[in-house]
Amino acid sequence: MSVHLRPEDEVDYTERPTRAQVLAAQHIIRRYEEGIGKLPITPRIRYIANYKHTR
Protein backbone atom coordinates (compact mmCIF):
# COMPACT_ATOMS: atom_id res chain seq x y z
CA MET A 1 0.00 0.00 0.00
CA SER A 2 1.41 3.35 -1.03
CA VAL A 3 0.91 6.48 1.03
CA HIS A 4 0.88 9.84 -0.73
CA LEU A 5 1.51 12.75 1.61
CA ARG A 6 -0.06 16.11 1.04
CA PRO A 7 1.88 19.21 2.23
CA GLU A 8 -0.43 19.57 5.25
CA ASP A 9 0.36 15.95 6.27
CA GLU A 10 4.09 16.56 6.65
CA VAL A 11 5.18 16.12 10.24
CA ASP A 12 7.14 18.85 12.02
CA TYR A 13 9.34 16.89 14.42
CA THR A 14 10.67 20.06 16.06
CA GLU A 15 7.29 20.94 17.54
CA ARG A 16 6.55 19.59 21.02
CA PRO A 17 2.85 18.71 21.38
CA THR A 18 1.01 19.49 24.62
CA ARG A 19 -0.28 16.68 26.82
CA ALA A 20 -3.82 17.57 25.74
CA GLN A 21 -2.84 17.17 22.08
CA VAL A 22 -1.28 13.77 22.83
CA LEU A 23 -4.44 12.59 24.60
CA ALA A 24 -6.66 13.91 21.80
CA ALA A 25 -4.57 12.13 19.15
CA GLN A 26 -4.70 8.88 21.14
CA HIS A 27 -8.49 9.25 21.40
CA ILE A 28 -8.80 9.83 17.63
CA ILE A 29 -6.80 6.65 16.93
CA ARG A 30 -8.77 4.63 19.50
CA ARG A 31 -12.10 5.67 17.92
CA TYR A 32 -10.74 4.89 14.44
CA GLU A 33 -9.69 1.40 15.56
CA GLU A 34 -13.15 0.84 17.10
CA GLY A 35 -14.70 1.71 13.74
CA ILE A 36 -16.55 4.81 14.93
CA GLY A 37 -13.95 7.48 14.11
CA LYS A 38 -14.67 9.97 11.36
CA LEU A 39 -11.22 11.56 11.09
CA PRO A 40 -8.45 10.14 8.91
CA ILE A 41 -5.29 9.01 10.70
CA THR A 42 -2.48 11.17 9.32
CA PRO A 43 1.25 10.81 9.99
CA ARG A 44 1.00 13.90 12.23
CA ILE A 45 -1.71 12.31 14.39
CA ARG A 46 0.36 9.12 14.72
CA TYR A 47 3.44 11.17 15.69
CA ILE A 48 1.55 13.16 18.33
CA ALA A 49 -0.18 10.06 19.75
CA ASN A 50 3.18 8.31 20.20
CA TYR A 51 4.99 11.34 21.65
CA LYS A 52 6.56 10.71 25.08
CA HIS A 53 6.90 13.71 27.39
CA THR A 54 10.08 13.82 29.44
CA ARG A 55 10.87 16.23 32.21
**Using one digit for the tens of pLDDT, what is the confidence trace for 1-55?**
445 555 555 556 677 889 999 999 999 999 999 999 999 999 989 999 999 877 6
Asked if the structure places residue 1 within a domain, the reply is no
What's the domain range around 43?
16-55
pLDDT of residue 46: 93
Asked if the structure places residue 9 within a domain, the reply is no
Asked if the structure places residue 29 within a domain, the reply is yes
User: Distance of alpha carbon 54 from its chain centroid, rounded?
Assistant: 18
Asked if the structure places residue 8 within a domain, the reply is no
pLDDT of residue 1: 43
Asked if the structure places residue 31 within a domain, the reply is yes
* Count of other CB atoms within 10 angstroms of residue 8: 7
Asked if the structure places residue 47 within a domain, the reply is yes
Q: How far apart are the first and last CA of the chain?
A: 38
Name the domain count of the chain: 1
